Structure 1
Amino acid sequence: MLKGLTITPPVIGRISIGRVVEKNGKRLPEKDDQFTLTSQVQNRDGWVLHPLDETLRKAGQSKLRAIPVRMLFNDPNLNLRAEYTLFDRETGRPVCVGNGETCKRVGNDGVATLPCPSPDGCGFGKAAGCKPYGRLNVVIGDDDELGSFIFRTTSYNSIRTLAARLHYFGAVSGGLLACLPLELKLRGKSTTQSYRSAIYYVDLGVRAGSSLEAAIVEAREIHERRCMAGFDQGALDEAARLGFANGAFEDGEEEQAAVAEEFFPEAGQAVEHSMRRTEAPANATLREKLERQEKALPTLPA
């Protein structure tokens, strides 16, 4: 295993509750009142829809507000990773990532471990826009039992609700979280901060038409079948735990591009244009190409 490279669950698609739209020549994030399942491929119109998006809609949902899912791991903290994160808005790279006690911050001398008082108590984070950032991996469908869809969010409501649900479901099922038949649900609420207009967040519950007791019974049956087949859930959890601990930051270059597109679309577009401008012509010498690449490298704040 390459040291310094975080090993994350294989991702075969994305889950979003928003999209990027172009208004007056600017790319802006726009919230939606439904889920969208996309592939990991983009074209000029945005993210390409995953085939499961159409399949779920044909099942009776004109607006996709519930998605049947299973968890990959029994440990709630492996399914949902959430930290306070400060992004470089020009690249989507994490500059500082913390858990409220300690943080890892990128500086001129590399990555340093520092105290993390949370965004409200941190002058560096509060001034630069540090916010909670969560990533939830779930299994949708039966085609790839170890391939997952990822939901990225900076919503306090989604992160807090998902964290609570995962821990509660894990507790009441006797630690069989990965075997429970669950569904992601989109909920709406109004607050004074939203000026009483509806805002949407993601919740987790037992699938429609079932009960918690029935879901636990099904989870036990699935667990017994897996054990008889030799499926070692504990070893899978431990492998994931070691993989997450193998690097300083979870998001690699490809994930950084997705973060820039989803949360900072104007910056992501600027980076894309900047990269195009710095591309060397085909007849450029090797030295000229290297010089252009060096100038294109972003400078992270200390």
Structure 2
Amino acid sequence: MIKGLAITPPVLGRISIGRVVEKNGIRLPKKDDQFTITSQIQEKDGWVLHPMDEELRKDAPNGKLRTIPVRMLFNDADLNLRAEYTMFDRKSGRPMCVGNGDTCKRLTQSGVQSLPCPGPTLCEFGKGGLCKPYGRLNVKISEDDDLGTFIFRTTGYNSIRTLAARLSYYQAVSGGLLAYMPLELKLRGKSTTQSHRTPIYYVDLVVQDGMSLQDAVAQAKETARRSSDDGLDQAALDAAAAKGFGNALFDYEEDAEVLEEFFPLATTHTSFGKEGDSVEADSIVSELQLRGDRQQKAIEGA
């Protein structure tokens, strides 16, 4: 296996609750009140819809896709949802620093170093909103490809917190049979003081409509038994996935354009300070590197 290359689940398409729009010549992320399932092909007008989007939308009330039936690929919750505090190089799309609130791996002039991670709000290196929680959830929608997944990416605390809790709980109540649970992604809305009482939407994970938790667990046990009888080794699949994820220092997106939904600088190369002054992305990256060097010197001198 090639070292330094993260081996992640095969991706057939994307799941999003927003899109990128152009306003005054600047491409900006815009949230939506429904799911959109796209292929991995992006054209001038945006991402090309995946056939599953049309298929699922046929039965959706008012044509708005707000639930998606899914199954997990792995029994281990942490393999299905990967979430860290991440700061990206806005031009290349590669992560510069990835942490879990305790420790982080940071790219410095002397290479990748392990450093303390205080989280985005307290970190000098990633202050100003440059570091965000970044989650990737891989799910199975279609049975056409046994190992192919659709990926939902988010920087939202609500989605990450809710999905992490649900996955952990379903793994527990099913006796470790998370991959066999009949589940569905569900779009929920709420208002907060931070959103100025306007609705914000986040993703939840629930048992498929019409089933109780007891029914879902019973079905998971039966499906797991049949799969085992057919010779499928789910434990070995989980082990292979864990090894693949751990094969690289960073798990990064190959295409920087994917990140424009969460980090508009990736394509506009311009941000605006508190007073509206423009700042070039190259200057931002240089400043981030200087911050990291200063912080590293402070740690070494402590």
TM-score tier by shorter-chain length is 0.7 to 0.9
- CA–CA separation in structure 2 for the residues paired with 1:7 and 1:46: 27
Unmatched runs of 5 consecutive residues or more in structure 1? 272-297
- CA–CA separation in structure 2 for the residues paired with 1:127 and 1:264: 13
Give the corresponding residue for 1:188.
189
- TM-score (normalised: structure 1): 0.87
Give the corresponding residue for 1:264.
263
How far did residue 269 of structure 1 move?
Answer: 4.7
Give the match's secondary structure for 1:77. Answer: helix
- CA–CA separation in structure 2 for the residues paired with 1:220 and 1:199: 36
Change (3 A) 1:128 1:105: farther
Give the corresponding residue for 1:20.
20
Say whether 1:55 aligns with 2:55: yes
Give the match's secondary structure for 2:71. Answer: strand
Unmatched runs of 5 consecutive residues or more in structure 2? 271-284, 293-302
Give the match's secondary structure for 1:32. Answer: strand
- CA–CA separation in structure 2 for the residues paired with 1:54 and 1:269: 31
What does 1:71-86 correspond to in 2, within 5 Å?
71-86=72-87
- CA–CA separation in structure 2 for the residues paired with 1:263 and 1:116: 21
- Runs of 4+ off more than 4 Å: none
Contact 1:92 1:268 in 2 (8 A): no
How far did residue 88 of structure 1 move?
Answer: 1.9
Contact 1:26 1:266 in 2 (8 A): no
Give the match's secondary structure for 1:119. Answer: coil
- TM-score (normalised: structure 2): 0.87
Contact 1:76 1:170 in 2 (8 A): yes
- CA–CA separation in structure 2 for the residues paired with 1:64 and 1:194: 23
- CA–CA separation in structure 1 for the residues paired with 2:128 and 2:265: 20
Give the match's secondary structure for 2:75. Answer: coil
| 1:236 partner amino acid | L
- CA–CA separation in structure 1 for the residues paired with 2:199 and 2:123: 30
How far did residue 252 of structure 1 move?
Answer: 4.1
How far did residue 144 of structure 1 move?
Answer: 0.7
Paired residue total? 275
| 1:225 partner amino acid | R
What does 1:220-231 correspond to in 2, within 5 Å?
220-231=221-232
Contact 1:83 1:134 in 2 (8 A): yes
Give the corresponding residue for 2:116.
115
Give the match's secondary structure for 2:142. Answer: coil
Percent identical among aligned pairs is 66
Give the corresponding residue for 1:156.
157
> Which stretch shifts more, 201-210 or 21-30?
21-30
Contact 1:85 1:97 in 2 (8 A): yes
Give the match's secondary structure for 1:121. Answer: coil
Q: Deviations over 1:90-136 (max 9, x none)?
A: 33221100011110111112211111111222211224621111000
- CA–CA separation in structure 1 for the residues paired with 2:129 and 2:142: 40
